[in-house]
Structure 1
Amino acid sequence: MNFPETLFSPPLLWAATGLMLLLLSLAAWRVPWRTLPHGAVSAWSAACVLLAAMWLVKAGLQPGLSFHLLGAAIFTLLMGPALALLALALVLLLQVAAGQLDWLALGLNFCVTLLPAVAVTALALRLAQRYLPAHLFVYVFVNAFLAGGLSLVVAAASGMALLWLLGVYDWPYLLDNALPFYFLLSWSEAFTSGLVLSIMVVYRPQWVRSFDDARYLAR
């Protein structure tokens, strides 16, 4: 989604920006900066630029209702939730610099779409590690494929709920015109997440912070 600032009141936009800055400060405090592998950081930086370019390829239905791949699940599994939030915020800043996003709506886009997507992916990973077998197929299919698709659905539902609660669009309109597109897009998100993580754990497992060779392969 891409929420333009004209749809929302300034107090809401500033409150979302303040919440975003608070969450990013907490995320930066939790990242183990000194132990990050140099090669992984370079790859993750390139991923930010690539994702920003991917977000430029999007379709729009109405103001506040745009459709593009999210990439939050991939970033969360590659970097961990805290660093993923920082990286996705950087991608949003690149969108602002490219003139694709209103700077005052940056916090709202972060809190309503990216934050839920990262949270869902992180929660799915924790539940899978606790209740499911430590198997490579479980990691790729559940944590990358299914959680990737679910992350986009949750982000879209969160955005639609906000637009409905604020009276921007009627709920029947959102269900009939927006939800089917997000549901279809979630399959692309799931496939992309599963494919990228499958390749990464095979060729560059040291770049995937959520993947542990000893856990998934030492059997």
Structure 2
Amino acid sequence: MNLLLPPDSALFWLSTLLGLPLLLVAIRHAPWQQLLVSQTRQHIMFAAVLALAFLWLLQVDVRGTIAIHPLLMTVTTMVFGWSFALIIGACALVALELYQLPLRSFHMDWDMALAQFELSTVPVDFCLSVLVPASWAWCVLWLVDRWKFKNPFTYFWGVGFFGAMLSCLLIGVSAILLFAITGSEIHLKNTQEHFFVFILMTFPEGFANGLIATVMTVLYPDLVKTYRDDWYLKN
């Protein structure tokens, strides 16, 4: 989800304090060496940033306050791992913000547009649309890796499908908690009243993530960082 109304200072700074340290940790611990030695992986990572930025433009406006859109952060985490998933999501949000900034200038002067950019929705969007689903996917992967039942379908559908479905509900609950803690009444009220939208998004989100995860794992298993042949195909 993305915010359509600029956040107040409490929401902005709390989201920044929550998201920025974890993003720095992701940048610090990301396996950059593996990325630099593989041009194919570099191209896929760049394509993932553009694809997410484009998909996140396909928003459902909820009373001009919040926007619901496809996430695909679960499959991004499955392919790239937690660290790169956060980096890719952050880059996609920045690209989306930079794309929308000139569009705002048609309706307001540049000073107003830049002032709105300074109190950006990016930290809040990062926490809810990137950090929460990526971290949840990583937790589900951790749990699935420790199941005794060894089957590729536990990876495709356990993480990609059902994990992504539950991430939609987790995002809605996290948004309510974040808005309640910071006293963002307008965001809180509209999120509570339209929580059913998060429920409606569960199946399409799960289906899209599960399908892409299955295709990537079957056709390009070497590019899927979190897939382990020695575990999932073990007899």
- Which amino acid letter does the alignment assign opposite residue 86 of structure 2? L
How far off its partner does 1:69 sit? 0.7
Q: Is the 8 A contact 1:5 1:102 kept in 2?
A: no
Q: Does 1:6 align with 2:3?
A: no
1:162 aligned residue: 178
1:195, CA displacement in angstroms? 0.2
Opposite residue 168 of structure 1, the aligned amino acid is: E
The runs of at least 4 aligned residues of structure 1 exceeding 6 Å deviation read none
1:34-183 equivalent positions in 2, closer than 5 A:
34-36=33-35, 37-99=38-100, 102=117, 104-165=120-181, 166-169=183-186, 174-175=191-192, 177-183=193-199
The aligned counterpart of 1:30 is: 29
Counterpart secondary structure, 2:62? strand
Unaligned runs of 5+ in 1: none
State, as a whole percentage, how many aligned pairs show the same letter: 24
> Rg larger in 1 or in 2?
2
Aligned mates of 1:57, 1:170 — CA distance in 2: 20
Q: Which runs of 5+ in 2 are unaligned?
A: 102-115
Q: Which residue of 1 aligns with 2:112?
A: none
Q: SS state of the match for residue 67, structure 2?
A: strand
Amino acid at match of 1:81: W
Q: How far apart, CA to CA, are the structure 2 residues paired with 1:5 and 1:187?
A: 27
Deviation at residue 173 of structure 1 after TM alignment: 5.7
**Are residue 204 (structure 1) and residue 204 (structure 2) matched?**
no
Query: Residue by residue, what CA displacement relative to the aligned partner does 1:144-184 show, whole Å, maximum 9, x if unpaired?
Result: 10111111221122113333442424977644x41111111
- C-alpha contact (below 8 Å) 1:72/1:151 kept by paired residues: no
1:54–1:69 CA contact under 8 A, matched in 2: yes
The whole-number CA distance in structure 1 between the counterparts of 2:39 and 2:148 is 32
CA-atom RMSD in angstroms: 2.2
Task: Look up the SS of the partner of 1:134 in the other structure.
Answer: coil
> Normalising to structure 2: TM-score of the pair?
0.83
> Do the aligned partners of 2:7 and 2:121 also contact (CA within 8 Å) in 1?
no
Contact kept in structure 2, 1:4 and 1:102, CA below 8 Å: no
2:185 aligned partner, one-letter code? V
Distance 1:216 1:170, change over 3 A: closer
Amino acid of the structure 1 residue aligned with 2:135: A
Distance 1:208 1:164, change over 3 A: same
